[in-house]
């Protein structure tokens, strides 16, 4: 039942645009016996339907700059391959520390430096 609540909460957070992986990955690490690599792969698999839904919604609402899609997709695929090869070859403890440091730095950025005066 705990995993149902973790999935639900990470889905809500992801739907808000915050990123469900910030909840899902640490929760999987804490409450299961999966490694960091396995937790990240679960997060990526669970992201597919969320991303597909968001893509359809934004395309219908004309929120997509179509001329940017091809280069971003191509370089995104290259980055995903490089990142997955790196993640598989790093020790789980080091990967967990790097992920934690990344989340910490992103939190600092959001708190101190992100332009809070922008509104949409």
Of 96, 103, 97, 101, give the one whose Cα is nearest residue 40. Answer: 96
Burial class (CB in 10 A: 0-12, 13-18, 19+), 14: buried
**∠ Cα 25 31 32 (to 5°):** 85
- pLDDT confidence of residue 46: 84
Please, which pLDDT band fits residue 12 given cuts at 50, 70 and 90? confident
pTM of the model: 0.65
Sequence spans of domains, the chain: 2-113
Please, which pLDDT band fits residue 112 given cuts at 50, 70 and 90? confident
What distance lies between CA 95 and its chain's CA centroid? 15
**20-61 pLDDT, tens per residue?**
788 888 899 999 999 888 998 888 888 888 778 888 888 899
DSSP state of 114: S
């Amino acid at each position: 039942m705990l995993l149902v609540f973790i999935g639900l909460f990470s889905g809500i957070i992801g739907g808000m645009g915050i990123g469900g992986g910030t909840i899902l990955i640490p929760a999987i690490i804490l409450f299961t016996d999966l490694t960091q690599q396995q937790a990240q792969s679960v997060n990526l698999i669970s992201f597919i339907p969320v991303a597909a839904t968001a893509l359809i919604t934004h395309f219908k609402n004309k929120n997509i700059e179509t001329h940017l899609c091809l280069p971003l997709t191509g370089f995104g695929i290259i980055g995903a391959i490089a990142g997955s090869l790196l993640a598989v070859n790093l020790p789980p403890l080091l990967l967990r520390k790097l992920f934690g440091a990344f989340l910490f730095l992103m939190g600092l950025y959001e708190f101190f430096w992100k332009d809070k005066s922008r509104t949409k």
